[in-house]
């Protein structure tokens, strides 16, 4: 079973918060995972705000483009060099 130990990282040193692992002076390999401090609620509210902005943009019809005409214009044949 794996044990988890809490620590503060200060510069290049870990300072144990709760229980201290008992490894003596032995050098051990560790894996440190930094967790994001951003609250989940804030991320959800940003998503809702983005959806609201996209809905407003769709309703405003500022990008009123006929997709078939746009595709025809983009795919117009051009003269080939040397022919």
pLDDT tens, residue by residue, 28-79 = 777 777 766 666 667 778 888 899 998 888 888 776 778 888 888 888 777 7
Q: Which of 31, 28, 37 is nearest to 7 (CA)?
A: 31
Strands (E), 1-83: 7-10, 13-16
Distances (CA, A) of 72 to 7, 18, 20: 62, 68, 70
Q: Is 7 exposed, middle or buried (CB count within 10 Å of its CB: 0-12, 13-18, 19+)?
A: middle
pTM: 0.33
In 3-state terms, what secondary structure has residue 25?
coil
Q: Which two tokens stand for residue 61?
A: 């019809």
């Amino acid at each position: 079973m794996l044990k988890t130990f809490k620590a503060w990282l200060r510069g290049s040193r870990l300072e144990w918060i709760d229980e201290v692992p008992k490894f003596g002076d032995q050098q051990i390999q560790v894996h440190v995972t930094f967790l994001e401090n951003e609250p989940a609620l804030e991320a959800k509210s940003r998503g809702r705000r983005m959806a609201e902005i996209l809905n407003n943009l769709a309703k405003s019809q500022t990008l009123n483009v006929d997709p078939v005409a746009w595709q025809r214009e983009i795919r117009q044949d051009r003269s080939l060099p040397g022919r």
